[in-house]
Amino acid sequence: MSRLDSAIRRLQAQRACLDWAVGEIAGRPGPVLELGLGNGRTFDHLRERLPGREIFVFERKVAAHPDCIPDDDHLLEGDFHDSLPGALARIGDRAVMAHCDIGSGDRALTARLAAFVGPALAPLLAANAVVVADQALEIPGCHPVPLPAGIAPGRYHIYRAAAA
């Protein structure tokens, strides 16, 4: 498969998983977390799908399209190792959904980051929260959820936090 075809499949999977998760949290109050702003595509998608919902974005260094940057109150800039621990005080409530787009071209670095993000994310999640991720994560208190139809296993990942 060409790199172009692979990128298209990844983006289709990402959109399908995000749209599924948005449907799962419909009617539930609480913020949404976006780990990894990148160029802002998924943040823009989420704010369009979730108008009026608070979306808190974690990003090491912002380099997104200017129209796709959250306001200062909703941007936690810096390394995940510094911004995730203690973030609940800033967010104010546990999240009902999180999207983690943390992969890079460096497999070893991505694996180390995923190993950190899973446990660091757990205290930020509400009961029955949904997590959509580009990497396999070990999130204490969460279990894998089947992917939407047509998404190849391992292409994207979905988890659900335990009920209260």
Give the model's pLDDT for residue 68.
94
Residue of 11, 16, 20, 13 whose CA lies nearest to 38: 11
Q: What letters, b where the CB count within 10 A reaches 16 and e where it falls short, cover 28-42? A: eebbbbbbbbbebbb
pLDDT reported for residue 21? 98
The answer, yes or no, to whether residue 164 has pLDDT greater than 80, is no
Domain boundaries in the chain?
Answer: 3-161
Average pLDDT over residues 130-159: 96
Of all residues in the chain, what percent carry a pLDDT higher than 90?
92
The average pLDDT across 123-131 equals 98
pLDDT score recorded for residue 7: 87
Nearest to 135 by CA among 10, 43, 24: 10
Backbone angles phi, psi at 58, to 5 degrees: -105, 125
- pLDDT, average across residues 136-144: 97
pLDDT at residue number 13: 95
For 101-156, strand residue ranges (E) read 125-133, 142-144
Termini Cα distance of the chain: 43
Distance CA 123, CA 7 (A): 32
The structure's pTM equals 0.95
Which CATH number applies to 3-161? Answer: 3.40.50.150
Q: Max Cα separation, the chain?
A: 45
For the residues 154-160, what does the mean pLDDT come to?
Answer: 95
pLDDT at 54: 97
Per-residue model confidence (pLDDT) at position 104: 87
**pLDDT band for position 105 (cuts 50, 70, 90):** confident
